[in-house]
């Protein structure tokens, strides 16, 4: 019981400091989504990619000739003749129409000179090949990768599921054909390369030697591998070998059914050159990720430099991967999805591995982000580029089964990924559509609408939908709270403040200020702005009541202040002065008061998109930089503590019962002897001030709490918490020194079953107790003592025994027996305790002995005894 109360008393300040601000809308515009819809049931949106055609690049600008939303629909009808549901790749323009996507030619070209599409060859099975299962873009002006992992090669007595991929030029024309398992051994079928399933995943690099890595989870009984080729157009200098990770039973770093190649990504993990990470989500039961350094000519199979292991069985660690420089150190960091991670309150996880200056991803423990139960958080992950223009790359994580689907946006920083999402985009909150499985696929990092900010594309295959969310421009804002000296050392015992010296309450003042940065990418600080201003004290973090209120009035006592403020370029810094008062009887004067300051732009809501109308510009709806627009700060009370601002108290409790001692920490209670049981307590503080210090005493339920001693009533506030616990406030603060008090209890309700009484005494505070004394236990043996006595009286006292002898059969009437003798016995209990059960045993002579077996009758019972009880109450003055 004592432990429970301690947890209620002292962690309050810790909860306040740790409380994270809720996610706020950031700059991905959900009110103006571009929506593209495919045919029903074709899995349109299963895989997606942002793509941009660049005609020319100069030192100062680029000339664009097309921005496309690329969408894979692996169950769609392909343009190739004589195929059925072999899958398709679609290119969708940046328009408000939902049905203007055009299918890209992928299959059926026999040579680049002819545009005529030919049916599949006699050795091919294209039906159900899932073209579009993987779609990737190399970036602005780069190539495109599209794959069909279920493509099959057939013969008279075999069908091998090899899989295939195409690369396309930036104009989406045919470039190269990749069938990495073609010509490899298949004698043992799936134990060799019979079911490669190449193209299950893939990635294109924009490195000096541009590469394609194709994930193939099937070789050698689904151990899996990745295959790497150069996609350079310079035939003379390009690498001409297909590189791969170790594959055979002898060489593979994974076991059977590991599915290595289920995911793959690229980054400079081990040097400035590009390396690869490949996921094996079933390896070792938990899943693993293989880290492969850069491709080196003559080194094949490629080296597996390190492995990252999952922590939970069946979590599919490595199902999805993404590389991003989240801390701005020019080294790729790695995000690993485990969408089937589970706990009582989480479903899906993403592990964030931050690279070190020594290029070591596994040298430090990763961050773990988790999603809501059964959401499959981490099913998709995308690098967003620098979404908020702060110099650090940001990421998006999909949770396609959280409701209809959700996407979480996380910002990078110099310390790594900020674990509180900057934005949570739920399908239900979108304008125009609310597609199921929203977030199943993601693509980001390209400025699709050319406003200077990268945009995010989201796929929802179950609704055959792809959505582009454009990024709003960010207005740089600087926020201040001043003067700094007003934010610390608030004396709760001093009434008034500099502005209101005669107030009956402790108060303090400060200014909240903001300024708009000039020279931003989208806003140069040249126009007047109207901002909504809100300052809230404590309740924003979940606290039910605030210890302070705003304003000079004493009637409403609001815990927040809200108003509109105008900013003009000529004025610059704009401020608001706030007066804050501390409520009377505030006990918690150690933990700081936490304030949340927030600014938001007041602007018109955008009009809903109408299909066929001009593409709306999100530049009309800028947003403030949320990292500065929302500021949480603290105001600290004056504390009698050390230089480290941590109050290190050292509480010690000594206690004894005002009873007869029989052993160490053990006493004797003679029931009925005392009107009260008294516990004498002495509390010492050998350290710094103890704030909100309290004494707790648990006692048996048979004892009822009376109160403290008369002289202590004004010094301590003691109240029964329940029938067995008394809590006393012993000082706020309780400074270094000693305090004594007596706690009185009534023992009248104790029962005969109470053989021993146990008291537990402890003290705590919201300060840091360096002593950590264990609770003190006092025991009293219960003694039940009663002084019993008995008196007898006979009437008559003497009786003559004699006379004529008669037989028993001759006696007809009681008067013929003889003189009647009446015995009266009185039993006395002089206390101090009552006797619940008492038996009186009486022996008397009933026959006169003779030489025969039965003697002559002497005395015998002629009436059943009666019992009368009387109690006497003794009143003491």
Q: What is the pLDDT of residues 565-610, one digit of tens each?
A: 988 877 788 999 999 999 988 888 888 999 999 999 998 899 999 9
* Structural domains of the chain, ranges and CATH numbers in brackets: 12-22+475-606+615-635 (2.60.40.1460), 34-471 (2.130.10.130), 645-783 (2.60.40.1510), 786-857 (no CATH)
207: Cβ contacts below 8 Å, ≥ 6 apart: 266, 273, 274
**Closest of 802, 674, 687 to residue 744, by C-alpha:** 674
- Please report the sign of the dihedral spanned by the C-alpha atoms of residue 12, residue 13, residue 14, residue 19: positive
Instruction: Give the separation between CA 49 and CA 144, rounded to whole angstroms.
Output: 9
Q: Over 60: is that where the pLDDT of 2 sits?
A: no
The C-alpha atoms of residue 825 and residue 832 are separated, in whole angstroms, by: 22
Q: What is the pLDDT of residues 613-630, one digit of tens each?
A: 999 999 989 999 888 899
- The H-or-E segment that residue 593 falls in is strand 593-601
Q: Quick one: pLDDT at residue 755?
A: 85
Strands 776-783 and 822-832: unpaired
What's the mean per-residue pLDDT of the chain?
Answer: 89
Residue of 458, 324, 434 whose CA lies nearest to 380: 458
- Contact 495/503 with Cβ under 8 angstroms? yes
Per residue in 668-713, pLDDT (tens digit) is 988 778 889 999 999 999 999 898 899 999 999 999 999 998 778 7
Reduced to 3 states, what is the DSSP secondary structure of residue 809? helix
**17: pLDDT strictly greater than 60:** no
The residue with greater pLDDT, 244 or 2, is 244
Averaged pLDDT, 327-353: 97
Q: How confident is the model at residue 59 (pLDDT cuts 50, 70, 90)?
A: low
* pLDDT at residue 364 tops 70: yes
pLDDT the model gives residue 212: 98
Q: Name the phi and psi angles at 168, rounded to 5.
A: -120, 155
How many whole angstroms separate alpha carbon 461 and alpha carbon 427?
Answer: 13
Average of per-residue pLDDT across 402-426: 96
Mean pLDDT value across residues 276-297: 96
Cα-Cα-Cα-Cα dihedral sign, residues 88, 92, 96, 99: negative
- pLDDT bucket at 15, cuts 50 / 70 / 90: very low
Sign, CA torsion 545/546/547/551: negative
For the residues 498-513, what does the mean pLDDT come to? Answer: 92
The average pLDDT across 272-283 equals: 95
Q: Of 783 and 644, which is predicted with more confidence?
A: 783
Q: What's residue 9's pLDDT?
A: 28
**Which pLDDT belongs to residue 309?**
98
pLDDT for the residue numbered 10? 28
**pLDDT, position 653:** 96
Residue with tokens 């934010």: 487
Which residue intervals of 184-310 are DSSP H helices?
Answer: 219-222
User: Which ranges constitute the DSSP H helices of 199-339?
Assistant: 219-222
Q: Burial of 195 by CB count in 10 Å (0-12 exposed, 13-18 middle, 19+ buried)?
A: buried
How many angstroms separate the CA atoms of 724 and 181, rounded? Answer: 77
Place of tokens 């991003």: 324
With a cut of 60, say whether residue 28 has pLDDT above it. yes
Q: How far is CA 687 from the centre of its chain?
A: 36
12: its two tokens: 């309050």
* CA-closest candidate to residue 550, choices 589, 500, 478: 500
3-state secondary structure of 6: helix
Between 751 and 38, name the one with better pLDDT. 38
| 502-508-511 Cα angle (round to 5) | 130
Per-residue pLDDT at 62 = 63
Strands 474-475, 623-624: pairing kind: parallel
pLDDT at site 58: 62
Higher-scoring residue by pLDDT: 189, 25: 189
How high is the pLDDT of residue 672? 76
Q: Which of 122-131, 776-785, 840-849 has the lowest mean pLDDT?
A: 840-849
Alpha-carbon span 136 to 603, nearest angstrom: 37
- Distance from CA of residue 144 to its chain's centroid? 39
Closest by alpha carbon to 436, among 41, 51, 102, 32?
Answer: 41
Closest CA to 397 of 331, 446, 352: 352
Gap between the terminal Cα atoms of the chain:
40
Q: Which has more pLDDT, 784 or 400?
A: 400
Q: How far apart are CA 775 and CA 3, in angstroms?
A: 10
Look at residues 481, 480, 474, 513 and name the one whose alpha carbon lies nearest to residue 626.
474
Question: What's the rounded Cα separation, in Å, for the pair 22 and 39?
Answer: 38
Asked if 396 contacts 404 with a C-beta cutoff of 8 angstroms, the reply is no
**Which has more confidence, 464 or 831?**
464
- CA 831 to chain centroid, in Å, comes to 63
SS3 (DSSP) at 227: strand
pLDDT band with cut points at 50, 70 and 90 for residue 11: very low
Q: What percent of the chain has pLDDT over 90?
A: 65
**139-188 pLDDT, tens digit each:** 999 999 999 999 999 999 999 999 999 999 999 999 999 999 999 999 99
Instruction: Report the C-alpha gap between 738 and 715 in whole angstroms.
Output: 13
């Amino acid at each position: 019981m004592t432990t429970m109360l301690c947890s209620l008393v002292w962690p309050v300040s810790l909860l306040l400091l740790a409380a994270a601000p809720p996610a706020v809308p950031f700059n991905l515009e959900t009110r103006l989504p571009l929506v593209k819809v495919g045919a029903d049931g074709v899995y349109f949106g299963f895989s997606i990619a942002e793509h941009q055609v660049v005609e020319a690049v100069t030192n100062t600008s680029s000339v664009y000739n097309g921005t496309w939303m690329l969408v894979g629909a692996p169950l769609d009808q392909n343009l190739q003749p004589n195929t059925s549901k072999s899958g398709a790749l679609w290119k969708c323009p940046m328009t408000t129409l939902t049905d203007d996507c055009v299918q890209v030619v992928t299959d059926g070209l026999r040579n680049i000179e002819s545009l005529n599409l030919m049916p599949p060859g006699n050795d091919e099975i294209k039906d159900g090949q899932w073209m579009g299962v993987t779609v990737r873009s190399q970036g602005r002006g780069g190539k495109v990768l599209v794959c069909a992992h279920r493509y099959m090669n057939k013969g008279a007595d075999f069908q091998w599921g090899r899989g295939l991929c195409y690369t396309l030029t930036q104009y989406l024309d045919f470039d190269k054909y990749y069938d990495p398992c073609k010509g490899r051994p298949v004698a043992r079928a799936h134990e060799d390369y019979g079911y490669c399933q190449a193209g299950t995943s893939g990635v294109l690099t924009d490195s000096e030697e541009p590469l394609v890595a194709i994930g193939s989870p099937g070789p050698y009984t689904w151990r899996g591998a990745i295959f790497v080729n150069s996609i350079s157009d310079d035939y003379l200098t390009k690498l001409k070998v297909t590189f791969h990770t170790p594959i055979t039973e002898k060489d593979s770093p994974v076991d059977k059914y590991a599915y290595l190649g289920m995911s793959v990504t690229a980054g400079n993990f081990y040097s400035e050159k590009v390396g690869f990470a490949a996921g094996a989500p079933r390896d070792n039961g938990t899943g693993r990720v293989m880290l492969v350094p850069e491709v080196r000519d003559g080194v094949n199979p490629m080296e597996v430099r390190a492995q990252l292991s999952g922590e939970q069985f069946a979590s599919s660690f490595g199902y999805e991967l993404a590389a991003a420089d989240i801390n701005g150190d020019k080294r790729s960091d790695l995000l690993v999805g485990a969408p089937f991670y589970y706990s009582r309150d989480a479903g899906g996880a993403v592990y964030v591995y931050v690279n070190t200056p020594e290029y070591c991803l596994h040298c430090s423990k990763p961050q773990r982000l988790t999603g809501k139960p059964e959401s499959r958080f981490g099913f998709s992950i995308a690098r967003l580029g620098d979404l908020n223009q702060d110099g650090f790359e940001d990421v998006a994580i999909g949770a396609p089964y959280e409701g209809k689907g959700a996407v979480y946006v996380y910002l990078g920083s110099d310390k790594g990924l900020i674990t509180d999402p900057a934005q949570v985009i739920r399908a239900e909150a979108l304008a125009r559509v609310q597609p199921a499985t929203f977030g199943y696929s993601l693509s980001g990092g390209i400025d699709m609408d050319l406003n200077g900010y990268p945009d995010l594309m989201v796929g929802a295959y179950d609704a055959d939908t792809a959505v582009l969310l454009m990024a709003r421009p960010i207005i740089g804002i600087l926020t201040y709270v001043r003067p700094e000296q007003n934010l610390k050392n608030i004396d709760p015992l001093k009434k008034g403040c500099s502005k209101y010296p005669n107030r009956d309450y402790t108060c303090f003042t400060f200014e909240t200020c903001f300024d708009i940065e000039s020279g931003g990418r989208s806003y140069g600080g040249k126009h007047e702005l109207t901002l909504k201003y809100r300052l809230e004290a404590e309740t924003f973090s979940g606290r039910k009541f605030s210890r302070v209120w705003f304003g000079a009035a004493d009637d409403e006592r609001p815990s927040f202040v809200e108003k509109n403020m105008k900013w003009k370029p000529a004025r610059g810094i704009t401020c608001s002065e706030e007066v804050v008062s501390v409520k009377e009887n505030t006990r918690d004067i150690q933990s700081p008061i936490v304030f949340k300051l927030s600014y938001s732009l007041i602007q018109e809501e955008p009009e809903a998109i109408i299909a066929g109308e001009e593409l709306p510009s999100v530049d009309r709806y800028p947003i403030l930089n949320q990292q500065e627009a929302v500021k949480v700060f603290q105001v600290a009370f004056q504390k009698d503590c050390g230089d480290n601002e941590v109050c290190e108290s050292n509480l010690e409790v000594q206690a004894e019962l005002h009873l007869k001692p029989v052993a160490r920490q053990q006493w004797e209670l003679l029931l009925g002897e005392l009107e009260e049981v008294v516990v004498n307590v002495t509390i010492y503080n050998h350290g710094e001030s103890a704030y909100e210090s309290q004494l707790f005493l648990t006692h048996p339920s048979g004892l009822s709490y009376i109160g403290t001693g008369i002289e202590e009533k004004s010094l301590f506030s003691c109240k029964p918490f329940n029938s067995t616990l008394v809590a006393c406030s012993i000082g706020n603060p309780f400074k270094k020194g000693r305090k004594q008090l007596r706690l009185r209890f009534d023992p009248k309700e104790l029962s005969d079953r109470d053989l021993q009484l146990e008291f537990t005494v402890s003290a705590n505070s919201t300060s840091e107790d360096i002593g950590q004394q264990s609770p003190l236990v006092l025991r009293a043996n219960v003694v039940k003592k009663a002084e019993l006595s008995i008196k007898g009286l006979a009437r008559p006292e003497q009786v003559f025994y004699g006379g004529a002898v008669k037989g028993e059969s001759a006696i007809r009437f009681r008067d013929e027996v003889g003189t009647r003798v009446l015995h009266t016995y009185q039993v006395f209990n002089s206390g101090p305790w009552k006797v619940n059960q008492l038996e009186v045993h009486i022996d008397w002579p009933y026959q006169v002995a003779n030489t025969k077996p039965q003697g002559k009758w002497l005395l015998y019972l002629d009436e059943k005894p009666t019992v009368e009880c009387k109690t006497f109450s003794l009143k003491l003055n």
